A and B are shown apart, each in its own frame.
Chain A
Amino acid sequence: GENVEQHPSTLSVQEGDSAVIKCTYSDSASNYFPWYKQELGKGPQLIIDIRSNVGEKKDQRIAVTLNKTAKHFSLHITETQPEDSAVYFCAAPQEYGNKLVFGAGTILRVKS
C-alpha cells in the first residue's frame, strides 16, 4: 500500500519569508496529491491539489510541485502571513478505492 512521509515536522519562518514542505510517496501509480491545512479547533481543509499529468500548480501565494520520477511533491507558500500558521498535511491515494493516506503533518509558525 501507499506510504507517505512528510518533512519537516515543524517549521518556523519570519513573516514575509517563504515556506516549503516536502512529501514523498511510495506507490508510483498514485496520480492525485492534495494538501490540507488544519487550523486550531477545525478540521483539515483542502488548499491545493495536483494530478500527475502536471508538474506544478499555483493559486495566489501557494503552489505545489510534483516530481513523479523521484516520487515527491512539495508545498510552497510565498510571502507568509501570520494567518498561514497552522498544521499542513499532504496525502496520496491508497492503491485502490477512494481512500487517502496522509503524511504526519507539519506545524508551520509564522512569526510577525
Chain B
Amino acid sequence: ETGVTQTPRHLVMGMTNKKSLKCEQHLGHNAMYWYKQSAKKPLELMFVYNFKEQTENNSVPSRFSPECPNSSHLFLHLHTLQPEDSALYLCASSSLLGSAGYNEQFFGPGTRLTVL
C-alpha cells in the first residue's frame, strides 16, 4: 500500500455516460496529480493540483473535468468520452518543497477505464 487509494479499480462506460474517478491520499501531501497510461503514451501527465489549486492542465480535452475539494481528495469527472480514452488512469501525490525541490510521487493502483 502506497497510501494513495483509487476507486473504482475498473470501470466500463458508454460514450454517453457520466462517471467519476476518485483518489484519496493518506500521506499529508499537498500536491496531487492525474496521469493517463496507455500503450501509446505510457505516463502522460494530465492535471496538477498544488494546495488545492490547479497549476497544470496539459491540453486535456474538456470531457475530462478534475476537482480537488481538499488536499487529500482528487476527482476526475468523465463525460461523453471516446473509445480512445480507454486507458489506466493513475493518481499520485507528493509533498511540495518549494520551487527547488522535487519529492517522490506516490502513485495509486489506478482505474482501468474502458469506453465502449
Contact = CB atoms under 8 A, between A and B. Distances in A.
Interface of A: 31-32, 34, 36, 41-46, 49, 87, 89, 93, 96-105
Contacts of B21: none
B43 A98 contact: no
B108 interface: yes
The 6 A-B residue pairs with the shortest CB-CB distance, nearest first, are A43-B107, A102-B43, A32-B102, A105-B42, A46-B104, A44-B107
B90 interface: yes
A99 to B, nearest CB: 6
B105 A100 contact: yes
Given A43-B110, A89-B42, A98 B102 contact: yes
Given A43-B92, A44-B43, A89-B43, A97 B107 contact: no
Interface of B: 2, 4, 31, 42-43, 45, 48, 50, 55-56, 90, 92, 94, 96, 99, 102-110
Contacts of B99: 96-97
A43 B109 contact: yes
A50 to B, nearest CB: 12
Contacts of A42: 109-110
B99 to A, nearest CB: 7
Given A98-B48, A98-B94, A46 B105 contact: yes
A97 B48 contact: yes
A49 B104 contact: yes
A39 B48 CA distance: 24
A6 B90 CA distance: 21
Nearest to B45: A99
A97 B43 CA distance: 18
Contacts of B103: 98
B42 A99 contact: no
